[in-house]
Chains A and B, each alone.
Chain A
Amino acid sequence: MTATLTELLDPQTVVELYAQLLGYYAAQGFPTQSWQPFGVDRTRTSAIATVLQSISAGYIPSITAGGLLSYAALLENPGWLQLLSANNYNLPVNEASFTIGNILLTNASTSPYTITAGQLIAVFGASGNRYINNTGGTLPASGTLELSFTAENAGASYNDPSSSGALTLSTPLPGVTPSNPAGDYTDVAHVGAGTGTLTLTGTPVGNHQVLVSITSTGAAGVASWSYSIDGGNYVSAGSVDNIASLGGYGIDVTLTDGGSGTSFVIGDTYLFYTPGSWITTQGANTESPVALSNRCRDRWSTLSNISTTGYYEILATTTPNVGAQVTQVIVLPDADINNKVNIVVAGPEGVLPSGTIADIQTFIDPRAIGTDFPTVLSPSELDITFAGTLTVSAAQLAAAQDAVETAMNAYANGSGINGTLRIAQVTEYVMEPAGMIDASGITINGVAANLTLGSSTTFVVGRFLAADFTWVTSG
């Protein structure tokens, strides 16, 4: 009789194999009932069962699971899934990537420094993470120099925050201090052939994503352009060469001609965020088994000549060099424009750098099918505060507070684009630590109800702000 999947996935035990072998002996006429405990026959039977179990229990469930995405993703050894994805779907796993960011060096001394790539190691005090400069330059006396630094190791744990206070050089230069300010804006990521650039000034207010699209070719003041703020509908700016306070957010944009060639070309896009970030490339962990298996499933959509959501999902997560950074993606048709497809992507730390978004857009544009107008966007971020009254054993208070803070941080930041944060899940998490006795009055952002982020027209990820619980001790 053919074994079921459940049976194949269930490792056989020594006892089961021992019983099977005894049965076979009995069927052959051996007097197994009279075999003495610890006698030669029973010991030999037990030895065979033990050896066989150590082999079969290790391989049969793994071979079974290794051919099925859902189960391969659950195996302790990720190699099974990676073999399956690489060989059957031609999708190698997205390897972990390194965080890269800009650190500003300020020289208070009267001596200039010539810095070579690899010379400096910057250390973030809060995390202990170390970064090594990948560019060099001359740091003038009483001056500043911005250099690009790469994390010592790959992974999402290296995405340190901007304006981190305790930043030092473990390879000190007398009088030189490092800092990683966010700045008002990110770099402007340009997709297209134009030589023109955007100059950003003003006093921006709030977190915003701005996408500028050139709608007719020409120099600054001649070319027409439109802009979209936070994924909203495009607004025509006409053919002016600058606009003050874009959208009323204090964002001043000026089109600046390039030195040669055509400055602004129809179809070109320019993307930037405010505020900026010191990070230019977000570090990511090796693609999780669940993410890899989902990508494999999306592979099927590439067989069609018509795009489905899965098609754009796999393009976004498979973009060369940056695919690993995309840990979240949703694809939604636009609520206002018939052929516009919104591809909303985010990374392990939420919003991805503008350069990454531009890379994904550049990869997808030539692969758009038919009349599709795919637009890669970042979600906006919503601060999440959890509150309520938690009762805990007095002896476990400190440990429980730490555990709850960590759990809430992970839950809020892992909510996913347009995900739902649930009261029941919060309650479950806060009750997990040892010593927890009760939880009541749980709220998310002040409301005792589930919080659904975003909508069909808005794209939002959660960002942990606070675990503002009232702690009551008992016993």
Chain B
Amino acid sequence: MAEQQTIAQWLQSLPISWLFNREHGYAAASAEGALYDGQVTLLKEAVKARMPGLAPADALPQIGGDRKLYQGYTESDDTFRTRLQYAYEQWALAGTWVELLYQLYFTLGFEAGSAYIVQQNGLAYTLSANPEPDEDPTPLLVISELGLSYGVTNPDPIPWWTFDYRDDLCSRFAIVLGPGALPPSIQPRARATFDGTSSSVVANWTWGWDITDYAVLVSPAVTTDGTAPVVVVDSTANTETTVTVNASAPFTGYVDVLGFVSGTNPFASPSASTQNMIRQLANTWRPAKATFMGTWAMINGNQWGWPISPTKKWGDPGLKWGASSHAYFGP
């Protein structure tokens, strides 16, 4: 398509020789034409603002809201643009566990192999690899049988996930995180890297907060210069996205910190907004007849029936009472 003539060019080309063939007239046409061209540009951008591939970045969350898709805290604009354009493919899979896992990955960073959906009927679902934004995740779905329930037989014990005494509601499901490192949305972390020039470093959280009065666990400083600085967090400088770590003196190395909401398990402490997003995704993408029972974050050790292991048995070597912990976030 031929390049479109600007209004300034059009004005200057008008056959009004006494005006536009003179220096001042030509310059005035340039100035006024530039103003009109600016408005035309804005009009074009106003139309593009609804198109995910062309819209400005701050329009993407709005387009996402229209398509019931939510940009993850760490999801790039380009990735989200692609997901918005692939909304048709995503919604065609609505109501499937694979699509819920896909949404949990992009919006909340729940990664393949460490985020599961368990259904009371004894099946667990996860992804074999993290999906691409334009990828049909169906081939990535991995289905496993959960441990046997000796309370539910047919006539032999069958795979089962026990929520409570109701063994007649197989449409219930939950999200289980772990084994392995919990996603940053569940366990907000930050690393303050000191380069030897400053005793105070502002570090970015791996996942944003919706509060600033969160608590912080601080690791000892890891140094490469042989010093042993004392490090503390300046809680008065907490922001929703950053944490400030102060050292007793400049050093070279880093300090890892873990953020948590006061009064909660420091190793699995999603913000209220994150918990609400888990609920929103689960309830938006689940089958209408399925009931979401909440999220379990397995922090360490083995729980009854978890991790999935068809061979693990009562009394196996290495299994100990009380050597595990988890956090639960309600539906």
Contacts and interface: CB of A to CB of B under 8 A. Distances in A.
Interface of A: 2-6, 8, 17, 20-21, 24-25, 27-30, 48, 52, 55-56, 59-61, 63-64, 67-71, 296-297, 300-301, 303-312, 331, 333-336, 338-341, 371-374
A8, A304, A308: residue with the most chain B Cβ atoms closer than 10 Å: A308
Nearest to A301: B94
A8 B286 contact: no
A306 B50 contact: no
Interface residues on B, range: 35 or more
A64 B56 CA distance: 11
A83 B68 CA distance: 20
Closest 7 CB pairs of A and B: A306-B95, A67-B50, A24-B31, A28-B27, A304-B94, A63-B46, A5-B59
Interface string B69-108: 0000000000000000001100111111000000000000
Interface in B2-36: 24, 27-28, 30-32, 34-36
B45 A340 contact: no
A307 B58 CA distance: 32
Given A4-B56, A5-B55, 16 more contacts: A4-B57, A8-B56, A17-B35, A24-B30, A30-B27, A30-B28, A56-B43, A59-B43, A300-B68, A303-B92, A304-B91, A306-B96, A333-B289, A333-B291, A338-B168, A373-B289
17 contacts: A4-B58, A5-B49, A24-B32, A27-B31, A30-B28, A69-B66, A71-B62, A297-B67, A303-B88, A303-B91, A304-B93, A305-B95, A309-B286, A309-B288, A334-B289, A335-B291, A338-B171
Label chain B's interface by main secondary structure.
helix
A297 B68 contact: yes
Contacts of A5: 49, 55-56, 58-59, 62
Nearest to A6: B58
Contacts of B198: none
Given A29-B27, A309-B284, A339-B289, A70 B65 contact: yes
A333 B282 CA distance: 13
Nearest to A338: B171
Nearest to B65: A70
B276 interface: no
A63 B47 CA distance: 6
B39 A56 contact: yes
Contacts of A55: 39
A339 to B, nearest CB: 5
B260 to A, nearest CB: 27
Contacts of B35: 17, 20-21, 24, 48, 52
B298 interface: no
Interface of B: 24, 27-28, 30-32, 34-36, 38-39, 42-43, 45-47, 49-50, 55-59, 62-63, 65-68, 87-88, 91-96, 168-171, 283-291
Contacts of A296: 66
Nearest to B66: A69
A116 B65 CA distance: 52
A365 to B, nearest CB: 15
Nearest to B55: A5
A382 to B, nearest CB: 24
A308 B288 contact: yes
A6 B66 CA distance: 17
Contacts of B290: 333
B3 to A, nearest CB: 19
A306 B90 CA distance: 12
A304 B287 CA distance: 10
A21 B68 CA distance: 41
Contact of A28 (B30, B39, B47, B93): B30
Contacts of A304: 91-96
B56 A52 contact: no
A306 B62 contact: no
A333 B56 contact: no
A24 B45 contact: no
Given A30-B27, A63-B47, A67-B47, A308 B95 contact: yes
A361 to B, nearest CB: 15
A8 B46 contact: yes
A64 B49 contact: yes
A6 B58 CA distance: 8
Contact of A338 (B36, B46, B170): B170
Given A68-B62, A306-B95, A333-B171, A3 B50 contact: no
Nearest to B8: A24
Contact of B46 (A27, A60, A309, A341): A60
B186 to A, nearest CB: 25
A59 B39 CA distance: 10
Contacts of B285: 308
Contact of B63 (A21, A60, A68, A308): A68
Contacts of B88: 303
Contacts of A6: 58
Contacts of B28: 25, 28, 30
A25 B33 CA distance: 10
A307 B95 CA distance: 6
B181 to A, nearest CB: 31
Contacts of A59: 43, 46
Contacts of A52: 35-36, 39
Contacts of B93: 304
A67 B38 contact: no
A308 B66 contact: no
Contacts of B31: 21, 24-25, 27-28, 30
Given A67-B49, A309-B283, A338-B171, A8 B42 contact: yes
A3, A48, A64, A70: residue with the most chain B Cβ atoms closer than 10 Å: A64
A68 B67 CA distance: 10
A69, A300, A374: residue with the most chain B Cβ atoms closer than 10 Å: A300
Contacts of B62: 5, 68, 70-71
Given A67-B50, A68-B66, A21 B32 contact: yes
